[in-house]
């Protein structure tokens, strides 16, 4: 079975991140590098994780004018990441520019194009929070609207709450890959995630990849926690 678990390296230093990578690499499918770690350690942390042979999901959620996002995506391709994120709310032209930059830069550098993932609605947001920022206060409708826009732009993947996976699977082409944060093992706390499922439930709903952070990285024995989650996914 392909290991679908990407561990969120939400730690403040490269040293902490690489310690986790060395411990967890045999038990997980890859590692997510987000804003905190990338701001602290820069592109070098991506290069260091890639040198271990591990896959990297660069989660910086690009959201800017199309040309700026295209240049950022091109830079990420040159770092040899396997996934990266853009905000679907950036609009059709921005999303198209991101995918085009990924494909063109990959061809120029002889790499495989990373999976450009559109972020629909952050898993920390609920209906009340969406209404506060002037969006449709129905989370499901907002997710579906942004998902359809991303597919129209040619993107091949989405980030969404596990609770939206089943519905999206009914409306999206089968080739579109779904990446789900907000994953919490059976019996675990939700922390600041509002829309969660267990790893097994998320895969059964149709998720392709699971992003899991604190349930692994904050565990007394992270490797054992990761192995336990992987065992829970075995059919």
Closest of 125, 123, 122, 228 to residue 185, by C-alpha: 228
Residue 60, by phi and psi: left (phi above 0), alpha (psi -120 to 50) or beta? alpha
Give the span between the Cα atoms of 90 and 163, in whole angstroms. 23
Tally of CB atoms within 10 A around 230: 17
Closest of 155, 132, 154, 159 to residue 143, by C-alpha: 159
CA distances from 235 to 23, 195, 203, 204, 231 (A): 25, 25, 11, 11, 9
Question: Which is the catalytic residue, given 23, 36, 61, 127?
Answer: 61
Active site residue 61: yes
- In three-state secondary structure terms, 85 is strand
Residues annotated as catalytic (active site), given as ranges? 61
């Amino acid at each position: 079975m392909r290991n679908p678990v990407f561990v969120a390296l939400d730690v403040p230093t490269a040293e902490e991140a690489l310690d986790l990578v060395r411990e967890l690499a045999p038990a997980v499918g890859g590692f997510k590098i987000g804003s905190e770690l990338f701001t602290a350690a820069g592109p070098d942390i991506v290069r260091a994780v890639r040198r271990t042979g591990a896959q990297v999901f660069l989660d910086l959620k690009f959201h800017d004018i199309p040309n700026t996002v295209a240049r950022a995506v091109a830079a990420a391709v040159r770092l040899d990441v396997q996934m990266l994120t853009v905000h679907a709310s950036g609009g059709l032209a921005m999303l198209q520019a991101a995918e085009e930059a990924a494909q063109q830069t990959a061809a120029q550098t002889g790499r495989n194009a990373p999976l450009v993932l559109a972020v629909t609605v952050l898993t920390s947001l609920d209906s009340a929070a969406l209404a506060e920022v002037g969006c449709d206060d129905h989370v499901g409708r907002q997710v579906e609207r942004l998902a359809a826009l991303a597919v129209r732009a040619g993107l091949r993947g989405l980030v969404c709450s596990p609770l939206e996976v089943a519905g999206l699977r009914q409306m999206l082409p089968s080739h579109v890959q779904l990446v789900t944060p907000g994953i919490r093992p059976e019996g675990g706390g939700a922390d600041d995630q509002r829309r969660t499922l267990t790893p097994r439930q998320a895969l059964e709903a149709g998720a392709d990849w699971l992003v899991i952070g604190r349930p692994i990285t904050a565990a007394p024995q992270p490797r054992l926690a990761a192995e336990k989650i992987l065992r829970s996914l075995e059919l």
